[in-house]
Amino acid sequence: MGLAMSDPLAITAQGLDTFDTKCGIDLLDHVRDLVERYGVEEIVVGNPVGLSGREGESSARASELARRLEESLPVRVTMWDERLSSREAGRVLRGARAGKAAVDKVAAIIILQSYLDYRRRSG
């Protein structure tokens, strides 16, 4: 799972190490540690809606994750459309010998940067 974080002014997104969901560490515990370590105020969860805009099984899992984060952490949680972020990440990494972790990391950066840009434009 790709993770990214913004700078303190919420202008740019930077990638963090990807989280391996099979590593034996609970994702909520990992995110709680990041929230405490970096003073996170808001978490943006990518919502993998289909190209048609319809929500499927992956979107339902993302919504469930967002709900669990919101219930267990003292931060805002926002769902954000991540449509085509992995494809864009693959395009960014074209020619590089990048595996799934690199694509996930760049996709997380793209998702967060899109959200930050939207917030800045909408005031």
SS3 for 14-65, per residue?
Answer: EEECCCCCCCCCCHHHHHHHHHHHHCCCEEEEEECCCCCCCCCHHHHHHHHH
The answer to whether residue 113 scores a pLDDT higher than 90 is yes
| For residues 70-84, average pLDDT | 93
> Per residue in 19-50, pLDDT tens?
998 888 899 999 999 999 999 999 999 998 87
Q: What is the set of domains in the chain, with CATH numbers? A: 3-122 (3.30.420.140)
Question: pLDDT digits over 78-109, tens only?
Answer: 999 888 787 888 788 886 777 888 888 999 99
Cβ burial 89-114 (10 Å sphere, 16+ → b, else e): bbeebeeeebeeebbbbbbbbbbbbb
The mean pLDDT of 40-63, rounded to a whole number, is 89
Predicted confidence at residue 100, as pLDDT, reads: 82
Q: What is the pLDDT of residue 75?
A: 97
Q: Which amino acid is at 94?
A: R
